[in-house]
Structure 1
């Protein structure tokens, strides 16, 4: 048995399709060994076959192993033209497929932010994940025209490669969080005066929120104009 394992390792590592005695069939353990060695030879280090309960049919040569569609999530074990069987594996490896070219209708229009790859809910968008592409007829006021507007933000839903990023895809970008200290900016006769405050509500850019002036202890309404910054303007309801 040891000699046979060494022989299988040599065959798969060298890529030489030498005949092997599988006249009695390919057992589940043998099939698992074939798949594991093929994965390792392909550079897949984090996965393993999930095994097969039933033995495979007899084969007059050494079965070959290849990923289905380039994806090692399923390995295909083949005995020439006689038979083929599939075996699921445990691996995080996914093939890198080239991006599909944009259709003619999508090569015009304003440039908008799209994803380069599939991304899941909760993932943070990095500079390497996005690019600008023509919007074609798909333009919307909820899209983004600048990469910096989405970099560093988290997705709240799954977005696929080449799909435009919409505001609804992103978690709320709070510039002010409830309970945080804020800077109160007051314009009086052309002179700006600053004071310390505390946010009583969370807010995005342009939101009107309640804040407490820590000097006077008064609760007032102000407009979010930056990170931890609000401005007080007359006639805010």
Structure 2
């Protein structure tokens, strides 16, 4: 009886799922449910639920049948390279607002490089929901 319990426990662990693309997805592709399939295998550091992947953007090429690593996808980009974006810097009572040029693509919450158009200085900031950049030190 004890062996049956061990076999059932082992079978439950071995039957983990992993999400794989049904076709090769190029970087920048927004992933849909039709692009994914669940496979009966486990691979550490990869997604095991389709809903976690749908609506995300491929950061690198995703090949059919291969598991999708956590770092290979992210939120869809709302800022494109060379786009003019508003920059905001707030610290203490000081608030600076100016325009900048995005040097990278980025989605909400991504940290990207931007160039201040006035000073030509390269800065880093986080993409906000409204498409602006909150500059960090």
Pick from 33, 36, 42 the counterpart of residue 127 of structure 1.
33
Cα pair 2:19 2:47 within 8 Å, conserved: no
User: After superposition, what is the alpha-carbon deviation per residue over 1:47-102, rounded to whole angstroms, capped at 9, x for unaligned?
Assistant: xxxxxxxxxxxxxxxxxxxxxxxxxxxxxxxxxxxxxxxxxxxxxxxxxxxxxxxx
Aligned to 2:104: 202
Q: How does 1:1-237 map to 2 (within 5 A)?
A: 104-107=12-15, 114-115=19-20, 118-122=22-26, 124-130=30-36, 136=42, 138-140=43-45, 143=47, 147=51, 149-151=53-55, 153-154=57-58, 156-160=61-65, 163-166=66-69, 174-189=77-92, 194-199=97-102, 201-204=103-106, 205-207=110-112, 209-213=113-117, 217-220=118-121, 221-226=123-128, 228-234=131-137
Extract unaligned runs of 5+ from structure 2. 1-10
- Structure 1: unaligned runs, 5 residues or longer: 1-102
The number of equivalent residue pairs is 119
Partner Cα distance (1:192, 1:135) in 2: 52
Change (3 A) 1:168 1:152: closer
Q: Give TM-score scaled by structure 2 length.
A: 0.55
State the structure with more CA Rg: 1
Where relative contact order (Cα < 8 A, 6+ residues apart) is larger, the structure is: 2
